[in-house]
Structure 1
Amino acid sequence: MTTAVANTQAQAVQPLTGRIVALLAGLAAIGMLSTNIILPAFPLIGEALGVSAREMGLTLSSYFITFALGQLIVGPLADRYGRQKLVLGGLAIFVVGTVIGGLATSLEVLIAGRVVQALGVCAASVLSRAIARDLFEGEALARALSLTMIATAAAPGFSPLAGSLLSVTLGWRAIFILVGLAAVVLAFFYVRGLGETHPADRRAPHSATSVVLAYARLARDSRFILPALSMSLLLSGLFASFAAAPAILMKGIGLTSLQTGLYFASTVFVVFAAGMAAPRLAHRHGAGAITILGIACAMAGGGLLLAGSADPSLGWYAISMVTFLWGMGLANPLGTAIAMGPFGKEAGMASALLGFISMGAAALTTWLASVLTFAPVTTLGGIQLIACLVAMVLFLLRGRSG
């Protein structure tokens, strides 16, 4: 046990390395990989299962709801029993859900598989932030979260392209084989390269009552809840764009499945550039100021989408989304670091509550994007604009309360 503590303390003072970034990125990204990789295959899956594209949207909202609720359980367990058991157990459950989804012959079974997937993979996602907080503080934490966020954005960006290629060449069930293999590989390298980062002397023996009280304290603490709500609303605009993309890009603009995948892949570079710029700009101008700038930029992107035609060209849609993604890429890692920074001992619970709020907001906006009867572009632009406006107000209130 002493050796484990010494290793963890040594890691905490080491510079951020490519190995740690890769592992954190993998943990954060696998949940998003399994979210978006099936989007281009919706028409094929719907045809195979005899359901409409709108009904296929239930596979997203059910995934997000389960993901959100599961994190509330994972966080306290990880603070009590350590990170490694929860990460590996979660990835094993994810593989089981992947098998169920890959063998599905009805929408109900597919949704069940997606629910089991989400229940397992939420552990990897929520604990990627907690592990980063275990190992780093201050600017190093912000940089770690920025690089992790790039991977989190890259997964939903590149995964539709992978999903499109797989569904066209090998069939949609091959998609589930790919994500299952990715989970197995990630578990192997996690054990070999990182392992436990939350030593026994820092663990909290939470009871059910203490968990509820701890979550209540976090929810009342303006240092956490205001930036957490703000970043969750910002991300909800991104998830809404995922839900609306098939209708806008494939039905509206007329892109093929492969072209839609290429579009998503191209947007990754915007988030990559913003994520790389965020820590440097924060070092010069302050994390709070750059977060506000990012929210404002994302709000402008939603406004452009709403102000344009209900049947936009690919160029106008791309400009609007690039503006939104650049702002989100600046604000999200810095705002997340601001929310989690003061809560090192409760990093698991803070990350879990942040993840719950984020996925809850995502479930709401993806549901709205699916059920509102306005033109898809109008719906998406309105969601992004309103979400960013409320996010800005909440983040500014944090400055006043601080």
Structure 2
Amino acid sequence: MFETILIANRGEIAVRVLRACRELGIRTVAVHSTEDRDSAVVRMADQSVQIGPAPAKRSYLNAAAVIEAAKQSGAQAIHPGYGFLSEDADFAEVCEANGITFIGPPPAVMARLGDKTSARAAMTEAGLPLLPGSVEPLADAESAKRLADSIGYPVIIKAAAGGGGRGMSIVHEADEFARTYQQTKATALQLFGDGRVYVERYLASARHVEIQVLADQHGNAIHLGERDCSVQRRHQKLVEETPAPGLPKELTERMGAAAVQGALATGYVGAGTFEFLVDTENDFYFMEVNCRIQVEHPVTEMVTGIDLIAEQLRVAAGEPLRLRQEDVRLDGAAIECRVNVEDPRRDFAPTPGLLTRFVPPGGPFVRVDTHGFTGYKVPAAYDSLLAKVIAWAPDRPTAIARMRRALAEFGVEGPGVHTTCEFLDQVMADAEFAEGKHDTGLVARLLG
């Protein structure tokens, strides 16, 4: 096992990784920007290294600075968390070249699966079901429109290098296609430096369901069940849960087997997530692979009792998986709500600022992953996620009731600061959600 790990991230995931390291007796190094010098992870880490000013491009995305911090601190490995450099194949390759272990899949695997078109091609070869659409990036608007016309509307145009719910547009009518295609390409180029896009059929009433996998360097892979991520705003998740309500066990088992099949076929190593869409006929289709730990990994941990970060570290250190598929037991139901510093009444506009009061909920079977504290100034430079509230119960109705109690207890105050707690409680109280009959359109319906 590693003696020292550098955590190349910030916020709640940096704290989460630090805690797993501490339990395994691993020394931690936190890198931080000038804006985050007083952050929770900096206070908790064994060592901290300032790597740049507030803008992420000059700090958390500055690969050279991160590598230099690892060398100076004696870190043998880097945990990238999620976001930032976590799915950057070039960064993983640079780590390898410098004799530093990147805690994630091999660079070539990440490059193949991180590009959505090559990932679609890989899963086609592996035998996973895909929605009708293009496997290769589309060369021009004319060929793209011919494909869209043959698929039938609505279709969705997606950036090949996209992620985080960005770089995608829905087209409902043929006469909208050319304009939307050009807009999406321009957006993709601006956001990701890559203007390649592809087209696939759009499912208006789909469920977004993902499968957590673990794979080692010795050809072993397992899945840890599914997570439903259908409660979203602008294609970004707000609520995640396991098991997925209302889906037949036979279906989720087939999805799990398909994810393992895809992982083994591509040589995946580490923790990863295979994302699928499930239609109203309970047919499922591969969507993408996230080559990293997910924001919503705690719900899987709550029902399996498996520390996913610790397993990531063991696999990266070369250890074989300690679990076989038959050893995985799913117990009860868990729900995660993302508490963002945002105002839902203003289209979820971020509301950063000083927290004059921060009192997270507690009580039986409630977990809070956060980097917040009273006196913390939530910066405007980064993602608005402040905390994740996770509730476990023997059954889903009790988990919902427990979550509502926890959200009501959460005290966050500060000048101009708003959170999504009240809106999340509205989701929990919604009859459609309570019955497990919701889909990705729920948030839009609740907002009118």
TM-score under structure 2 normalisation?
Answer: 0.24
Between Structure 1 and Structure 2, the one with more helix by share is 1
Between Structure 1 and Structure 2, the one with more strand by share is 2
Between structure 1 and structure 2, the one with the greater Rg is 2
TM-score under structure 1 normalisation?
Answer: 0.26
